[in-house]
Amino acid sequence: MILIDGKQTSEAIKAELAAEVENLVRNGGKIPHLAAILVGNDGASETYIASKVKACKKVGFHSSLFRFPDTISETELLAKVTEINNDADIDGLIVQLPLPKHISEKKVTETILPEKDVDGFHPLNVGKLALNLPTFVSATPFGIMQLLERYKIETAGKHCVVLGRSNIVGSPVSILLSRNTYPGNCTVTLCHSKTKNLEFYTKQADILVAALGKPGFVKANMVKEGVVVIDVGITRVEAPGTEKGYRIIGDVDFDEVAPKCSYITPVPGGVGPMTIVALLKNTLLSLKNKQELLTKNPIT
């Protein structure tokens, strides 16, 4: 059994990104710049945003954090998004979700310029993904693809079973792994809450992607010998006596399942650390896309 080390992989990618930024700067190029909007004071959101800002610093990106109280109106927030859309120095913009109930997440997401939508949530970018056109792949699916690629896991002709049909993980992963490319060319089965006899499918999986949000749900008797397991679950469960008072548990019962796997991602330290790297890669890609456009259509 090989443990897929997302922490190590993400550090390796960050080192590559840092080298690329250094190279850009040496050649007089622009430094990639990620902007983030945070509304309110949700604890988990604070943590996520802090680690994104920290990651930018680590690889030499500029970052700007715009904070607003949760009393900000939708109109004001949309105006800020538009302002950032028009700021030529900013390459990528993310708005940390969830937003307060009086603000439409859909409207905010659709207001972000698709060219700066490094979260890959804008419908135009989701459509490009489905059509296999170049685009920003959203964080978790991107991270999963990177792990499969960096660990050189064979995917062509394999049966990949995806548990969960969310817009941010299950659905895009099932689309990406069906595509005629690497990683891809899997026969993909997408399972969800309405699937009957789930074990019937999980037992067939050469690659199992668990993105249900049910801690410890996948047991040893549900998978076959030699399976590749990608565990996307990150549920906080109370753990009295530990320093934080909680532990992060994946969708897979690791202790039971790991011995049967050829590869498995741990939780934490598997898919999680890869998601921030995806954001950084997309921000650099946005800068490169803009420069390519400028080369083709120079402003004279």
Residues forming contacts to a second copy in the complex (CB under 8 A) are 106, 122-133, 156-157, 165, 167, 171-172, 174-175, 178-180, 185, 187-196, 201
- Between 66 and 182, name the residue whose CB sits nearer to a second copy: 182
- Between 144 and 264, name the residue whose CB sits nearer to a second copy: 144
- Between 193 and 300, name the residue whose CB sits nearer to a second copy: 193
Count CB-CB contacts under 10 A for residue 165: 18
How far is Cα of residue 12 from the mean position of the Cα atoms in its chain?
17
CB of 89 to a second copy, least distance (A): 27
Q: Is residue 52 annotated as part of the catalytic site, yes or no?
A: yes
Q: Choosing from 14, 52, 116, 281, which is the catalytic residue?
A: 52
CB of 172 to a second copy, least distance (A): 8
CB of 71 to a second copy, least distance (A): 26
* Burial class, 106, CB count within 10 angstroms (exposed 0-12 / middle 13-18 / buried 19+): exposed
- Between 152 and 244, name the residue whose CB sits nearer to a second copy: 152
- Between 146 and 174, name the residue whose CB sits nearer to a second copy: 174
Give the span between the Cα atoms of 108 and 14, in whole angstroms: 29
- Between 38 and 168, name the residue whose CB sits nearer to a second copy: 168
3-state SS, residue 133: coil
Q: Is residue 119 annotated as part of the catalytic site, yes or no?
A: yes
- Looking up tokens 């991107």, which residue turns up? 142
Residue 222 DSSP class: G
Q: Choosing from 119, 206, 231, 251, which is the catalytic residue?
A: 119
Give the span between the Cα atoms of 105 and 193, in whole angstroms: 24
- Read off the tokens for 76: 């004001």
CB of 196 to a second copy, least distance (A): 4
Q: Choosing from 14, 96, 146, 281, which is the catalytic residue?
A: 96
List phi, psi (to 5°) of 236: -80, 125
Q: Is residue 255 annotated as part of the catalytic site, yes or no?
A: no
Q: What is the DSSP string of 53-106?
A: HHHHHHHT-EEEEEEE-TT--HHHHHHHHHHHHT-TT--EEEEPSP--TTS-HH
CB of 294 to a second copy, least distance (A): 19
Q: Beta strands of the chain (E only): which ranges?
A: 2-3, 33-39, 62-68, 92-95, 159-163, 187-191, 207-210, 227-231, 235-238, 246-249, 261-264
* Burial class, 194, CB count within 10 angstroms (exposed 0-12 / middle 13-18 / buried 19+): exposed
Using alpha carbons, list the distances in angstroms from residue 89 to 32, 64, 163, 177, 300.
8, 11, 40, 34, 19
CB of 285 to a second copy, least distance (A): 17
3-state SS, residue 201: helix
Catalytic residues: 52, 96, 119
